Amino acid sequence: MLKMRNLLVCAAALLSGVVAQSSSVGAYVSSESPIAKAGLLANIGPSGAKSSGAKPGVVIASPSTVNPDYLYTWVRDSSLVFKVLIDQFTSGADTSLRSLIDEFVTAESVLQQTTNPSGSVTTGGLGEPKFNIDESAFTGSWGRPQRDGPALRSTAMIAYANWLLDNGNTTFVSNTLWPIIQLDLDYVRDNWNQSTFDLWEEISSSSFWTTAVQHRSLREGSTLATKIGQSSVVSGYNTQADNILCFLQSYWNPSQGYITANTGGGRSGKDSNTVLASIHTFDPSAGCDANTFQPCSDKALSNLKVYVDSFRSIYSINSGAASNAAVATGRYPEDVYQNGNPWYLCTMAVAEQLYDALLVWSSQGSLEVTSTSLAFFQQFSSGVQPGTYASSTSTYTTLTSAIQSFADGFVAIHAEYTPSDGSLAEQYSKTDGTPTSAVDLTWSYAAALTGFAARGGNKPASWGASGLTVPSTCQSYSGPTVAVTFNVDATTVEGENIYLTGSVTALENWSPDDALLMSPNNYPIWSITVDLPANTVIQYKYINKDGSGDVTWESDPNNNITTPASGTYTTNDSWR
């Protein structure tokens, strides 16, 4: 293992330490980059060294099959991985990747059409998070739907489409890519305001990560549609992108200075979800825009400090680190999965956000300190005050030098707990840094590559975040709806009532407190009619509340229906 913890010091304090750390981190980036690239490619079928059984273009999450079993393909992970490869290909960094990218396009087109527990391609199936590596549906119990996948997949394919258009291949874009992309974008347009499991697959509510990547996908999807003459969808995409941008603002917690990652779940909301969203919706042309939570925005920087600080005291390996030094970070401080350890991709994400911020400050020749970001900047210069500091000022130099070292500190931690062969697991132990959980996590390799690219000054393409205005009033979009009448045969005693709740906003997102009161007009049949999204797989349950407010849920499993495209629908259930 590379040992660099002794180098994690504030740049403004020890210049000699800065030089040494920069050199050490640079050496790690040079040595680990080809290993990460090879590790990523090894997990892509059919010829990847660790992807046996995977169809062409299918990304396995990890070759691990026991504790945990990750030998599946996730739409989210696959899309993020191929976005890295598409960016390398389109930038000219690796021109050998085109056939692999085309295989990814074909594989995802198959998965889109594969009927699964979330539905068919027209009834919610695009929200299915994972599949078997032979492209068949995974039918086991899981946290579904997860509505980030279509947004991320469309973003990856739009990047490829833009390169093809620039190189004169309009036919392939229009005939092959656009039908795939449009399915995903239409799903985002019609379902963005429905409940979703978050990217960690644990909480069903609304998720900052999902909302942010959905917003990006519709913006760049609208631009692509205009380029190729698909004007009929542009207005709908733009309207809902505005509504999503409006909703995105609601995650900001001004009194605490951070982005609350999920609207449900009962946790603090301090979560790597928010840092990952900032770097994956980075648009250099948007500067430090706070409405889209750009990496150098005051809200994103304030959030980053709160997120990082939440791990300082909970991991043994962070013991003794200075209050302004880099530390190991994980998904969220309350995490207990696999004993709740730091994750390689989460630690690298912090560095990447800081590198992105540095790139924008350098490009615009100044940085701004606001009352919102003041605590972040005071880590590096305790006397700094709100204001705009040009690159010619000593304050700018002091702050950016310190932040560069701070960012390098997170890469140094990443390096310290990377084993000598360069392999990257999902997590590393919070007590001694030993790699743990799934081995060779493809997303860990992808995150290393994007972090290294950001450190090298990589400037991603703009996706349309610049100059956006948040609407004064947020409007929810429900898409087409159908009237669904729920009937349940349920015997009660005096003082008890039957309520309904379920997986969509119209059914109050599984909230027992806000569940819908049913009517016993034909007792013991209780009834209610609700307008629900059309063409959608919906889960629901009935609950019994007595006069004191005690709640009794009917027994598992959840009830399921698929709503029709139009008309009405009626259920006839019996209390379990």
User: What's the DSSP call for residue 147?
Assistant: T
CA distance 431 to 145: 34
In DSSP terms, which residues pair with 322 in a beta bridge?
none
- 8 Å CB contact between 270 and 307: yes
Assign 74 to helix, strand or coil. strand
Whether 201 sits among the annotated catalytic residues: the reply is yes
- 8 Å CB contact between 262 and 307: no
CA distance 124 to 114: 11
Q: Which amino acid is at 484?
A: V
Assign 527 to helix, strand or coil. strand
Question: Which is the catalytic residue, given 201, 334, 489, 546?
Answer: 201
Report the 10 Å Cβ neighbour count for 428.
Answer: 28
User: Whose CA is closest to 280, among 124, 76, 487, 432?
Assistant: 76
CA distance 99 to 56: 10
User: Whose CA is closest to 431, among 324, 304, 350, 338?
Assistant: 338
Alpha helical stretches, state H, 49-97: 75-90
CA distance 207 to 273: 8
- 8 Å CB contact between 202 and 271: no
Question: Which is the catalytic residue, given 103, 108, 128, 198?
Answer: 198
Whether 198 sits among the annotated catalytic residues: the reply is yes
Residue tagged 């995150």 (tokens): 447
CA distance 286 to 460: 12
User: Whose CA is closest to 298, among 241, 362, 254?
Assistant: 254
Residue 142 counted as an annotated binding residue: yes
- Give the residue numbers of the binding site for substrate: 142
Active site amino acids: 198, 201
- Give the residue numbers of the binding site: 142
